[in-house]
Chain A
């Protein structure tokens, strides 16, 4: 057999299970992870020195977390684990990795991308103020740093994460001002039959909602944000409840707002690796094509977990293992086909659960159309919704890369992560076309910012890095 160099990017649930399956078959994968400790986001481990119980950190999921972390620990001697490694480019079997301020190249014959997800957001007036965080961000502050994002936090958006983070905050002793769900009770009722297929998930959801109610935390449904109150930081949020502008106004005093509308996949490495993408209506996003086992359109590349399409942590574990088995199959090695089939069946059930969750907590598609022109759309470049709409009208721009070239939306440091979904929604509405027609933001390396000194040997000395310096080194 030719030399095999499997590399896994991401040490969350998908990456860990992929590593486990490869090791079980006798391979020794390199596992690259941007974080300093394994676990991804949902099972993120605090830095060394934090003494917190699994229950405190992970609540209902503490057993899963313990199991996953234990698995990773047991794998360490059998893998080449490189935390603190940011993969910023992928080309023809070579990864460029930023680690400790220097560039490393990692060759691969087979690549499993388990790059995870971040929160999906839409803009609204005041969303860039200090004190506004994503739901995931608010959860990281608590889980990873033992901090609340404010003293009195309001939670807004939709999805199971909304109630979960509010619950976690309340349990940790933070004041939870309100939970503001953009979905309606009718949405959730419509999802009840589907939730029968995921009784555990449904039970947790009902439990957290019930617990919040029991503890006097107001829960609102059918909400749209109006604006955040505050000059240079959050001091409250105003929402509307019910349809149109005659809806009831809610004024919530708070010093922080955590919000999110589900998750969005981190697909940049798949794009740079040359994978084909297609549009997924449920996710309202372009995602890398994959077969049922997780093979991408590029030979030797496999996709697992939320990084290829949001499916949750349980699905990520299944997909990670299945992708690894696909890799082994493609090497001509013996694979437990019964296990592979079982994994696929479980993944299909997870898909159904996802559909149900989307029905229960639908993406508020009308939000983009109702945004005022002066709302900041691209937070990095501070470009407003109105600028995008004007360009669509005056320049006739109908495609998102064109809009980006003309308005700068998506040209900032975040490379379209925070504004891409919103820009597409606003553009589609402004142009009167369906969302898939506006396309998706072309991805280029580096997939995250890299320092200029990366290839210059040692990290620069003080004088070299002084941006204010006007003199020579």
Chain B
């Protein structure tokens, strides 16, 4: 289940004077700032980036530097991207929950 209604994981502490970027997360509109990575954009709204293929457990990244590969997300059209190293773009339509075909138990 998606949890975009849950409080965010990340907290903005600095450099918030940047232009807004509107995107869509799990079908709901959201706003990030220009220069945010997808990870920042999502986790300043919600508490997960994805659910694992095997147990369905929620994940929200780990290393923030493109090594752990735990922050892969997908767009509604199926495109896959690494959230910590991809910048949020206007109109991006992101999904944080597992596609029902994803789970392999």
Contacts and interface: CB of A to CB of B under 8 A. Distances in A.
A173 B16 CA distance: 14
Given A47-B87, A133-B62, A449 B12 contact: no
Contact of B54 (A147, A233, A381, A451): A381
Interface stretch (A67-75, A137-145, A367-375): A137-145
A240 interface: no
A381 B104 CA distance: 11
A105 interface: no
Interface residues of B, number: 49
B45 to A, nearest CB: 12
A34 B66 contact: yes
A358 interface: no
A134 interface: yes
B74 A467 contact: yes
B62 A379 contact: yes
A138 B8 CA distance: 15
Contacts of A439: none
A147 B66 contact: no
Contacts, number: 156
Secondary structure type dominating chain A contacts: loop
B5 interface: no
A132 interface: yes
A41 B67 CA distance: 12
Interface in B37-93: 37, 40, 44, 47-48, 52, 54-55, 57-70, 72, 74, 77-80, 84-85, 87
Interface in A108-160: 118-119, 128-134, 136-138, 140-142, 144-151
B32 to A, nearest CB: 10
A233 B58 contact: yes
A49 interface: yes
Given A174-B13, A232-B47, A466-B77, A145 B67 contact: no
A256 interface: yes
A78 interface: no
Contacts of B48: 130, 232-233
Contact of B14 (A41, A52, A232, A467): A52
A338 interface: no
Contacts of B19: 49
Contact of A232 (B58, B77, B84): B58
A51 B17 contact: yes
A128 B51 CA distance: 11
A466 B78 contact: yes
B86 to A, nearest CB: 11
A425 interface: no
Given A118-B67, A233-B47, A467-B99, A173 B59 contact: no
Interface of B: 3, 6, 9-19, 34-37, 40, 44, 47-48, 52, 54-55, 57-70, 72, 74, 77-80, 84-85, 87, 99, 101
Given A150-B11, A466-B78, 7 more contacts: A129-B58, A140-B64, A149-B9, A232-B47, A380-B70, A448-B69, A467-B80
14 contacts: A47-B35, A130-B9, A130-B59, A134-B63, A134-B64, A134-B68, A137-B61, A137-B63, A149-B9, A232-B57, A233-B6, A415-B69, A462-B77, A469-B78
Interface of A: 34, 41, 46-52, 56, 118-119, 128-134, 136-138, 140-142, 144-151, 172-174, 232-233, 255-256, 266, 379-382, 412-415, 417-418, 448-449, 451, 462, 465-469
Shortest Cβ-Cβ A-B pairs, 8 listed: A130-B60, A137-B64, A413-B69, A146-B15, A146-B14, A466-B78, A47-B35, A140-B64
